Amino acid sequence: MHIQGNTTKIVMKLSYIYAKVVKKILRGKAVCSSQIDATTKVNSGCSITNCTIGRYNNIGYDNEICNTEIGSFCSFSDHVFIGGDEHPLEWVSTSPVFENVKHSGPSRKFASFDVLAGKRTFIGNDVWIAHNVSIKAGVTVGTGVAIGTGAVVTKDVPPYAVVAGCPAKVIKYRFDETTIAALLDSRWWELTDEQLDKVAQYIQEPDKFVEMVKRLKNNEI
């Protein structure tokens, strides 16, 4: 029974790896009117439109991101939805057959009214977004935020907050107020690669890390 259990785990692991490989090879990604730093990785199945994305981000599979500015060192899981246009709820119908929108809905159009573009969305630096999260257009997600699986973010999120739920609410903060202020003041995400090499060993110790960043900026190390 023990051997059978191990075999099942191995088969499941191989199946998972196979699925990831097939997804990566057979499916592409759509990037339109966007600026993405060369160090950022965008995985397959993503649709990115009118976005600016900074350094060393990892954008998971099947993300749809529209009209958004993203900082650096962020980690997005799979099936994340950010931004996009809103449906005109004040109209008689929200169907795209009455809107002047190309490549959306049936080809038959009864009218072609313009729809206002969605508001710009802002994602800070070092933000972690878990699987299947939706973020409403116009929201600002602060630096250091962590968003739990399946959350629906409809309001601004303060720096280093941990949020979850539908609608998303603050559960706790990653650090105390003093540490949060120090991290924000350090602006470590703006360090060069060479500078990060010198302080990366302290990434598990926030206070020490902040201290070393200060020394680095003062040319003490």
**What CATH code is carried by the domain that includes residue 28?**
2.160.10.10
Q: Which amino acid is located at 52 in the chain? A: T
Q: Which residues are catalytic?
A: 87
Q: Are residues 128 and 184 in the same domain?
A: no
Q: Are residues 181 and 127 in the same domain?
A: no
The whole-number pLDDT of residue 109 equals 86
Q: How many CB atoms lie within 10 A of CB 217?
A: 14
CA 97 vs. chain centroid, Å, equals 31
**Contacts by 163-171, CB closer than 8 A, 24 or more apart:** none
Q: Are residues 181 and 221 in the same domain?
A: yes
Q: Are residues 158 and 73 in the same domain?
A: yes
Q: Indicate yes or no: pTM above 0.95.
A: no
CB 157 within 8 A of CB 139: yes
Total domain count, the chain = 2
Q: Are residues 148 and 79 in the same domain?
A: yes
Question: Is 104 a member of any domain?
Answer: no
113 DSSP assignment: B
Q: Are residues 126 and 170 in the same domain?
A: yes
Q: Are residues 49 and 26 in the same domain?
A: yes
Q: Which of 159, 174, 189 is the last residue of a domain?
A: 174
Q: Are residues 124 and 215 in the same domain?
A: no
Compute the distance between CA of residue 2 and CA of residue 176 in angstroms, rounded to an integer: 46
CB 98 within 8 A of CB 110: yes
Place of tokens 């692991």: 13
Q: Are residues 56 and 141 in the same domain?
A: yes
Question: Is 208 a member of any domain?
Answer: yes
- Per-residue pLDDT 10s for the chain (221 aa) are 455 556 766 766 666 565 556 555 667 788 888 999 999 999 999 999 999 999 999 999 999 999 999 999 999 999 999 998 777 788 898 888 888 876 667 888 888 887 666 799 999 999 999 999 999 999 999 999 999 999 999 999 999 999 999 999 999 999 999 999 999 999 999 999 999 999 999 999 999 999 999 999 988 88
The whole-number pLDDT of residue 98 equals 85
Q: Are residues 183 and 218 in the same domain?
A: yes
CB 83 within 8 A of CB 65: yes
Do strands 128-129 and 140-141 pair parallel, antiparallel, or not at all (unpaired)? Answer: unpaired
Q: Are residues 124 and 70 in the same domain?
A: yes
Domain housing 161: 2-83+118-174
Q: Are residues 75 and 179 in the same domain?
A: no
The whole-number pLDDT of residue 107 equals 82
Question: Is 107 a member of any domain?
Answer: no
